[in-house]
Structure 1
Amino acid sequence: MVKNFEIEKLKMKTRASLSATLLLTKWSVRTSRSRVEGRVAFMNMLRKCWKSFNAGWGWCALMTPAGAYGQLASGSPESPRVPIPAAPLAQPTMSIGDGTLLGARLQPYRVAWRVTFRGADGQTIEGSIWTQQLRLDDLNGRKVLIRTAGTLGFRRKDLSIAGYIADINVLDAATLAPVKSEHVHFDGSKETLTFDGKHVEVRSQDPGGQVQTKTFETLTPAFDFTGGMWPTFFAAQRLQLGYSGVMPEFFDAEKGYETLPFRVVGRESVKAGSRGFIKAWIVECPDPQGGVQRFWISEAPPYLIRFTIPPVPGNPFEQTFEMLE
């Protein structure tokens, strides 16, 4: 896996002059044709959000128990765009319950990020404020971790609600095995997933209310990456410089089982909003549509301090999420 990762990074260096395009907000690395195709539906949803932004929603508040935030702006570094060729799925180097990922390494937290868009010409556009919360709870006598995340957008002209994105993931508190998750998208569509070992059931509802149910049998029990969940799993591992791995995942309701390679490439102090500067590991993943996704992961809550998503086809902006509090 490490060798394949180095090959991808070499390609990124030699092809860094390729034109960049847009981004995402729910992040990850994929090395197969399935991964690239599986991202299309999600990217289309993001493009709808972007079109709504251009149509006039100027500031966003967050759905969070702590309250709502105004919007700030900042720049972000450029990322090279490198198309990833079709390739077999990387073999996972870890599995649910083997002790590599431990729920005990994750403590409850609440965090808010500001998101900004930056074009190749340096233009910066203010985006939404996102929140995420992790808490310990009990579900039918089972200890679970519940992660919620989302954002609420308002139109600039009349301050009416333009839409919202909301995610909830329920995981076993010890092994991080998925239990269930639910996701509501900006266009009103939604998915509900239930997990039982290798068996996954996905109930999808389109904006018009039409419902479709699919079932999957994964090659091995997989972590639930839906709703932008995967950066949380980085924090559940013992990170160190040069550490790398491949996680089995369920991300896309069209393709089912896939894998996510990643690598720790550095450690530095990063601004953590009102908390000042925090030491964080830098974790990189090649993006399925080109470039590199980067995550700054601290060893203490709230873990995900900063992250950048490269431009992808359809929009010439890179997204940067920076912690507010």
Structure 2
Amino acid sequence: MCTTGAVVCRDDRGLPHVYGFKNSDSAPVGYWHGRTGGVEGFASLAYGLFPQLGVNAGMNEKGVALISSFFDYADPENEGADGSRYWSGDLRGKAQGEALAKARTASEALAVMNDVFERERELSIGGCHIIADPEGSLFVFEHSRGRVAVQDATNQRWVARSNQAFCLFREEQRTMSEDIAQDRNERLQSAEDTLRFLTERDIQPPDARKALRQLLSSHAYVDSQSHCDNGMAAADPVNRQGSICAHGIVRGRSNAAIPHVTMSGMIWELSAGTMSYTLGQPCRSAWRKLSFDE
């Protein structure tokens, strides 16, 4: 349902700055941003969806971030159908909420995710969960159809997902319909290009934020990949596969073949303890900010 990632940048003094990001793509549903928890666990700056229990993405007060996305290799069902039933059996938000409340490090969060999916008997909707902390640890917890796997991307300093898995069902993913594969591959390539750029040079936080905002605002055009910044693109976005900022993509983002839009773009700055977000598509919406100090 999303394009997600995390990256460890270094400024001109060599100091690390860790960022997590997400575009939340879904058939239109209610959503929220806010501060959660803090009574019997750590508070979080988080995002959630009304049909989904728990936290869809967030960062706790220790700077541990968990950012989820959908994964499956099967073509979505029932084009044009009501999407409400496609949230049934979704443990992703519940697991992330528990990890955010308990974890002081990315490794601890990974252990909680493993524990939740081991003890729950029902099969969950598949997903990939990017896990990061201010020390630069980067993991991806993947799960689908009763199987789990972990990627450690710490040494790479960046990681991204666009609804595919790297450790599970590699052969099965090669059988997906061409339009779905195109959508996922093009979004992944755009994200990886940006993250490589950010890790190959010293970069100050304002420039890193700008690059990530441009990524989350980007559209795939018929003849080129182009970026827009708050509606300042030279042309209206073409509604085609590969656009990170979605305007009605039907296939490839979830298990429902119904039009998906980007409802919010989000960037977490783990060391600074802030969450920037949009109310609506990043290409046409102002960025707002939450912090633990507010």
Instruction: State the structure with more CA Rg.
Output: 1
Larger % of helix: which? 2
Larger % of strand: which? 1
Which band: TM-score by shorter chain?
A: 0.3 to 0.5
Q: Structure 2 length as normaliser, TM-score? A: 0.32
